[in-house]
Amino acid sequence: MTTSTPTASTAIPTTDEDPFSAAVLADPLPFQHRLREAGEVVLLERYGVYAMGRYDTVRAALLDWQGFESSAGVGITDFRTEAPWRPPSLLLEADPPHHDAPRAVLSRILGPRALRELAPRWQADADRLVDEVLEQGTEFDAVTSLAEAFPLRVFPDAVGIPEEGRRHLLPYGDHLFNSFGPENFLVQHGAPHIGEHAGWVNEQCAREKIADGGFGDAIWSAADRGDITPAQAPLIVRSLLSAGVDTTVHAIGAVLHAFATHPDAWAMLREDPALARVAFDEAIRLEAPVQTFFRTTTRDIVVGDVLIPDRRKILMFLGSANHDPRRWPDPQRFDLTRDPSGHVGFGMGIHQCVGQHVARLEAVSLVTALARRVESIELIGEPERHLNNTLRAWETMPMRVELS
Ligand code: OVP
């Protein structure tokens, strides 16, 4: 997709639509369809940034980390010309060589081997949560009762942070994900409170706060061994608290919504509980809790027949790529018979979600617990979206289940 002598033959397709408007955030699929149809790369006139919405294009750009860097920030702000609002993440907002050591440390700590002993505990926790919810009745808000309740019950304990103040986690993440977008109504709404939330989050990353035996402790132990520096450790703990809460809440919301609206899929899962894993990845494909991230060009790059100049921001529409009919037949359908692997809901390449095994284990535990007790799931009212500049999320999801 790149050439050594950049040439571009065609004028770049341009749109004045605002992907960060309330209307598009509430219902992004029609906009994403227009974006994919407009071309491989489209100029978002309003912001002076580029956008990619097709699967092949997004995937290729994500794989080309040298041409499309992350270290200028993966939000709309270019860290080389504007100061970031918090110290950059050593993972998300870094590239090789600086990215390598933090990434290697975290991928071992959050890898499938390390999670093996957590799996039976989280399954028991999920079974217990589902029992508690069903004891209260068979009608509930699936967002608060399940999608928020389960990650908040297991993940902060797994990191090893104190109980006190955990109410800061969701609003911190919500504002952080808003802050990757422009300073619109969502950012303005969160800005007055972010100091308080960020202050608490940053304090929990200190060694003295972290309990023995969890992910946080493992990060500090890596610093003791010299795999990372002591100055890097708290920032890597911060990544867990930044990226690990809202994302899994909305992933679980996505999978619950998908099952509630695809009863055939729930019946299949009940027949074969091992489908919980594919259901999770199919829900990530379908809903992409992280909808978008930016990259920044490090030189002039030709994509298709347009030239993206050096040092431009490009918005990668992960959710749109996962709905590209050029790659996915019947993309809107939650289909447990398809192979969703290759979706870009976790990104692709060197930055691909390092926490995905944790997220998958959370979702599989909860879905498995539900499948053990619930015959059918339905919505008993219109679920409401929670708007965020980056996240695809539910605010409420009125649900009724029938026990088996
Ligand atoms: C989805 C992500 C998101 C937000 C923050 C961070 C990572 C971080 O590393 O701080 S990846």
Mean of pLDDT over the chain: 97
Residues with Cβ < 8 Å from 292, sequence gap 6 or more? 19, 180, 315, 316, 317, 318, 319, 390
DSSP letter at 287 equals H
Phi, psi of 47 (to 5 degrees): -110, -10
Q: Report CA(375)–ligand 1 centroid distance (Å).
A: 36
User: What would the pLDDT profile of 272-296 be if each residue is shown by its tens digit?
Assistant: 999 999 999 999 999 999 999 999 9
Looking at ligand 1, which residue's alpha carbon is closest to its atom 4? 243
Alpha-carbon distances, residue 219 vs 126, 204, 318, 356 (angstroms): 26, 13, 29, 17
Mean pLDDT, consecutive 10-residue segments, the chain of 404 residues?
A: 53 97 98 98 98 98 99 98 98 98 98 97 98 98 99 98 98 98 98 98 98 98 98 99 98 99 98 98 98 99 96 98 98 98 98 98 98 98 98 99 98
User: Which ligand 1 atom is nearest residue 177's CA?
Assistant: 4
Above pLDDT 70, what percent of the chain?
A: 98
Label residue 349 left, alpha or beta by phi (over 0 means left) and psi (-120 to 50 means alpha): left
What are the CB-based long-range contacts (under 8 Å, 24+) for 382-385? Answer: 383/257, 385/25, 385/26
Nearest to 131 by CA among 117, 145, 147, 148: 145
Alpha-carbon distances, residue 68 vs 62, 102, 291, 298, 395 (angstroms): 7, 20, 18, 6, 33
Locate all alpha helices (DSSP H) within 262-317, ordered by sequence: 263-271, 276-287
| Domains of the chain listed by start with CATH number | 14-79+86-403 (1.10.630.10)
Locate all alpha helices (DSSP H) within 147-184, ordered by sequence: 149-159, 169-179
Q: Report CA(26)–ligand 1 centroid distance (Å).
A: 23
DSSP letter at 345 equals B
Q: Can you state the percent helix, strand and coil of the chain, rounding each to 5?
A: 50, 15, 35
pLDDT of residue 234: 99
Q: Report CA(189)–ligand 1 centroid distance (Å).
A: 21
Looking at ligand 1, which residue's alpha carbon is closest to its atom 3? 243
Per-residue tokens: 198: 């960020």
User: Which ligand 1 atom is nearest residue 290's CA?
Assistant: 1
Nearest to 62 by CA among 390, 349, 353, 354: 349
pLDDT of residue 1: 40
Residues with Cβ < 8 Å from 113, sequence gap 6 or more? none
Beta carbon of 247 within 6 Å of any ligand 1 atom: yes
Neighbours of 4 (CB within 10 A): 5
Neighbours of 137 (CB within 10 A): 10
Nearest to 295 by CA among 45, 52, 29: 52
pTM: 0.97
* Rounded (5°) CA angle 165-169-171: 115
pLDDT of residue 324: 99
Beta carbon of 91 within 6 Å of any ligand 1 atom: yes
Q: Report CA(381)–ligand 1 centroid distance (Å).
A: 33
